[in-house]
Amino acid sequence: MNERFADGAAYVRGGFVPIAEANISVLDWGFTRSDCVYDVVHVFNDGFFRLQDHMRRFARAMGKRKLAPPESLERMEEILHRCVALTGLSDAYVAMIASRGRPKIGGSRRPADCENHFMAYAIPWIDVIPKDVQERGAHLWIASVPRVPDASVDPTVKNYQWSDLTTGLMEAHEHGFDTAILCDAQGFVTEGPGFNVFVVKDGKVLTPDRGSLQGVTRQSVLDLCAMEGIPAEIAPIPRAVLEDADEVFTATTAGGVMPVSRVGTRIMGNDRPGPLSARLKALYWKKHAEGWHYTPVRKELAAAAE
């Protein structure tokens, strides 16, 4: 590991820099308009988890938003490897971003006039819900603000339009809760700030069919349920079903399967993670240890990146 990159490594403007030196122009539309897409993949025990699934989702997002940085998808993947290799981290949070950039023609308001660009970085592992909170089960607040409609902002295209999610998160913290979940204007459950949500009722696992990112970890949970013979379905989930659930858990790249013990004023079970939530969490990490969907980090690229 190069000590310059101990806190993280980034790729910006065609080069690799320590994370503290990574920046963009204040005129970049990715900053001024949240006009960008991104994806996050994690590294565990020196290997990426479901890297190709993340790359495919990122490529789809760029296509949907008509973003075309000069780097090929293969080059982007190599850059991710190099960012991790530079840090020397065995476990890492790795992000890729495609931004609209600045207009090449001064004053232009045409997205097509902007110079799209790619950025990436690797930093030490992040848990969206801290590990100690996961142990006792997260306390989930149901936000009063509704999720932005799917017809306005496509939730399957991972983006930085987080105004509604951040408002829900602030509301949760103001009420002494760990994090929030948002429903849409019709009262159906969607997602939280940085995670998908699952409801367990009568032994069946449900996850929302709307207002949500098609999470890679969400898919991993559905895959695990299929392996274990646990009934699971992507379905509409009214708020009342969430509030009456036997168990609730969340899922994200930055943390994996994360149990919930309280939803609003309701305490589930014995105020600890439920048995099915705990079982899926343990299985998720067991499969990681066995090399499930594992792509080794190309550590030899560290020298080539300097």
Please report, for the domain that includes residue 88, its CATH number.
3.30.470.10
Question: Do 93 and 72 have their domain in common?
Answer: yes
**Is 264 exposed, middle or buried (CB count within 10 Å of its CB: 0-12, 13-18, 19+)?**
middle
pLDDT value at 172 more than 50: yes
The residue-averaged pLDDT of 163-169 equals 98
Residue 242 resides in a domain: yes
Contacts of 288 (CB under 8 A, 6+ apart): 44, 45, 49, 294
217 shares a domain with 180: yes
Whether 100 is in a domain gets the answer yes
Q: Is the pLDDT of residue 13 over 90?
A: yes
Domain assignment of residue 283, yes or no: no
186 and 54 belong to one structural domain: no
User: Is 163 part of a structural domain of the chain?
Assistant: yes
For residues 95-123, average pLDDT:
96
* pLDDT of 3: 85
Please name which of 46, 82, 8 lies closest in space to residue 305, comparing C-alpha atoms: 82
What tens digit of pLDDT does each residue of 24-83 get?
999 999 999 999 999 999 999 999 999 999 999 999 999 999 999 999 999 999 999 999
One-letter amino acid at 281 equals: K
158 has a pLDDT exceeding 50: yes
Question: Over 70: is that where the pLDDT of 1 sits?
Answer: no
What are residue 15's phi and psi, to 5 degrees? -140, 170
Count the domains in the chain: 2
> Mean pLDDT, the chain, as a whole number?
96
3-class secondary structure per residue, the chain: CCHHHCCCEEEECCEEEEHHHCCCCCCCHHHHCCCEEEEEEEEECCEEECHHHHHHHHHHHHHHCCCCCCCCHHHHHHHHHHHHHHHCCCCEEEEEEEECCCECCCCCCCHHHECCEEEEEEEECCCCCCHHHHHHCEEEEECCCCCCCCCCCCCCCCCCCCHHHHHHHHHHHHCCCCEEECECCCCEECCECCEEEEEEECCEEEEECCCCCCCHHHHHHHHHHHHHCCCEEEECCEHHHHHCCCEEEEEECCCEEEEEEEECCEECCCCCCCHHHHHHHHHHHHHHHCCCCEEECCCCHHHHHC
- pLDDT above 60: residue 162: yes
CATH of the domain at 231: 3.20.10.10
Residue range of the domain that includes 9: 3-125+294-305
93 plus 151 within the same structural domain: no
Same domain, yes or no, for 80 and 195?
no
Region 235-261: mean pLDDT is 97
Q: Who contacts 189 (Cβ-Cβ below 8 Å, separation ≥6)? A: 181, 183, 197, 199, 208, 211, 237, 238, 239, 241, 242
Same domain, 80 and 44: yes
> Based on the domain organization, do 268 and 135 belong to the same domain?
yes
Same domain, 140 and 255: yes
Residues facing 98 on adjacent strands: 37, 118
Asked if residue 306 has pLDDT above 70, the reply is no
Are both 109 and 227 inside the same structural domain? no
Q: What is the pLDDT of residue 305?
A: 47
Judge if 269 and 210 occupy the same domain.
yes
pTM exceeding the 0.85 threshold for the entire prediction: yes
How far apart are the C-alpha atoms of 299 and 306, rounded to whole Å? Answer: 13
Q: Are residues 42 and 140 in the same domain?
A: no
Verify that 144 and 247 share a domain, yes or no.
yes
Residue 284 maps to a domain: no
Residue 259: the pLDDT is 97
Given this model, what pLDDT does residue 142 score?
98
Domain assignment present for residue 287? The answer is no
83: in domain: yes
Instruction: Kindly state the average pLDDT of the residues 93-97.
Output: 98
User: Residue 36 domain-assigned?
Assistant: yes
pLDDT band of residue 304 (cuts 50, 70, 90) is low
Whole-number Å distance between alpha carbons of 5 and 16: 10
Q: What does the alpha-carbon distance between residue 35 and residue 55 come to, in Å, rounded to a whole number?
A: 19
